[in-house]
Amino acid sequence: MSVFSSLIHILVFIIWSVGVYVDAWLLNPPLDGPHYDFDFNQYGGRLKYLTVLNSLLQCGFFGLCVANDLFGSEAKVRNEQSALQKYRDWLFTTLVFPMGLFVSLIFWSLYAIDRELIFPAELDLWFPAWLNHVMHTLPAIGVLIEVFMVCHVYETGVKRFKPIVAAYFMYLTWICYIAYFGGIWVYPVFEVFDMTGRTIFFAALLFPNLFFVLLGQKIHTTVWGTVTDGKKERKAE
């Protein structure tokens, strides 16, 4: 393993760790804010937000990368990999890469259309801009650096999509549960649709996640050649 990639892993892990810690423990939102109780106390607190869940995923992944750099392996064939490397590759290729791109793309796209749908201006009073970029820009930057910097072994066939599909439906169930029992949607954007529009919007959100799984593998193949669970094949010249 290269010293450079190890240093990048350590750096990104530190940034994520600081971001997660500040978001969880050091923010000072107004106690009399209109959504304070819902955001911080009810229905899992901040864990109802995909951004926060993704931050924990990304932080945990880069921590795993550091652990693998120290104690694992960098084999190109699955049966020669350490347990740490197998889990690192599975996690990155099936969840971390597509989720990282999805969070950044959806957030900044909605922000550009109407920020009140995703990140109301009132949050600027207590949510620092640098933390906003850590949680909404770093996910895409981090996973793109990783796919160019480190060779991973990819799952093949339908197995590639099962984790992200499962994660998608688990989160969809979670926010629908909150909407039903709490009477409020986690994100204001869902409030602008009627039931039909909301259903179409929910269904449409699955396709970018599936596409990003394929995109990650396409980028990886372009950079590293074809790496599967059995063998590594060189790209055709």
pLDDT, tens digit (0-9, with 9 covering 90-100), for 209-218? 999 999 999 9
- The CA-CA-CA angle for residues 58, 62, 67, to 5°, reads 145
Question: How many C-beta neighbours within 10 Å does residue 76 have?
Answer: 16
- Taking alpha carbons only, the member of 48, 29, 43, 56 closest to residue 190 is 48
Q: Model's pTM, two decimal places?
A: 0.92
What burial class does residue 19 get, using C-beta atoms within 10 Å of its C-beta: 0-12 exposed, 13-18 middle, 19+ buried? buried
What value does the mean pLDDT take over residues 125-146?
97
- How far is it, in rounded angstroms, from Cα 35 to Cα 42? 10
Long-range contacts of 202-207 (CB under 8 A, 24+ apart): 202/172, 205/106, 205/168, 206/165, 206/168
The CA-based dihedral angle spanning residues 123, 125, 126, 128, taken in that order and rounded to the nearest 10 degrees? 90
Per-residue model confidence as pLDDT tens digits over 56-99 = 999 999 999 999 999 999 988 888 999 999 999 999 999 999 99
